[in-house]
Amino acid sequence: MTIGIVGLGLIGGSLAKALKAYTDTVVWGGDISQNVISAALDLGVIDGRLSQNCLSKCDMVVVTLYPAETVEYVKKHARLFKKGAIVMDCCGVKSFVCSALKSVAENAQFIFIGAHPMAGAARGGFENSFPELFLNASLILTPYENTPRKAVKTVWKLALKLGFGRLQIVTPERHDEIVSYTSHLCHLLSCAYISSPLAPEYEGFTAGSFRDMTRIARINETMWSELLIENREHLCREADEFILRLRELMELVRSQDRRGLCRLLRKCREIKENLDAKQEKSG
């Protein structure tokens, strides 16, 4: 199997490293930075630079660019993909990407599958990529109704070799709705938390709760401003509902309703314990 990877950042770089570590795939890699391509070649995690000529030989092409760039790249190279090749993106929003590329793929006769590997790290770039990034992670796929089942199976078979733990298949719209809560809202809250003028002053008065709350505030602003705005409707609704729940907790605190607060906090603990138990079971 020959795979092309477009963009060798945290995701693309980790993908190349995992492919080389766990499979015998031929990997061609492209990146805007010549230094990154040289580093990837030196490490032997790509077999060569992804030229236009190579592109048409790939059985699978994984585009790990930001959403608008991804759409632009796939449109621009649509006629170069091998007929029947699987082309995937890795964006954190799916409706925008999948709706833009449906007819493009049909016209050029390649198979486009929206993908979102639920994996990340506080520091991005090829230099921080590592082959275990996807270990036990969920892979969300958002195929079209008419996407061949065989193609989805091929992707999942490969993903299992890379360490992914779970496969989730949903529509692009449902994906965006879900991750607006499970991921995008977390990033918004972490940033709202850390942007207090007090944050720098209080260094030395923090512990694990502060560290966890702020880890993802080390944010890639270029990518995340695009993701958050692209998913703005779901995200703002989730954020509004979050504020309602926060105000409910604040009201219990302010009115010194110990019993009511205790009851609500216990509910939170139970939700978390149930989730942890499910994850231990499945992972």
State the minimum distance, in angstroms, from the CB of residue 83 to a copy of itself. 33
Closest CA to 87 of 59, 57, 50, 129: 59
Distance separating alpha carbons of residues 143 and 257, to the nearest angstrom: 49
Check residue 217 for interaction with a copy of itself (CB under 8 A).
Answer: yes
Q: Is 169 exposed, middle or buried (0-12, 13-18, 19+ CB in 10 A)?
A: middle
Check residue 38 for interaction with a copy of itself (CB under 8 A).
Answer: no
Q: Which stretch binds a copy of itself (CB under 8 A): 13-21, 46-54, 69-77, 187-195?
A: 187-195
Nearer to a copy of itself, 52 or 195 (CB): 195
Q: Which stretch binds a copy of itself (CB under 8 A): 14-22, 55-63, 145-153, 206-214?
A: 206-214
Exactly one of 137, 141, 158, 159 binds a copy of itself (CB under 8 A); that residue is 137
State the minimum distance, in angstroms, from the CB of residue 273 to a copy of itself. 6
Backbone angles phi, psi at 67, to 5 degrees: -50, -55
The CB density around residue 223, as the number of other CB atoms within 10 Å, is 17
- Residue 82: C-alpha distances to residues 56, 58, 150 (Å): 5, 7, 17
State the minimum distance, in angstroms, from the CB of residue 18 to a copy of itself. 16
For the chain, strand residue ranges (E) read 2-6, 26-30, 48-49, 60-63, 86-89, 111-117, 138-142, 166-169
Site for a copy of itself in 221-250 (CB under 8 A): 221-222, 224-226, 228-229, 232, 235-236, 238-243, 245-250
State the minimum distance, in angstroms, from the CB of residue 55 to a copy of itself. 30
Check residue 152 for interaction with a copy of itself (CB under 8 A).
Answer: no
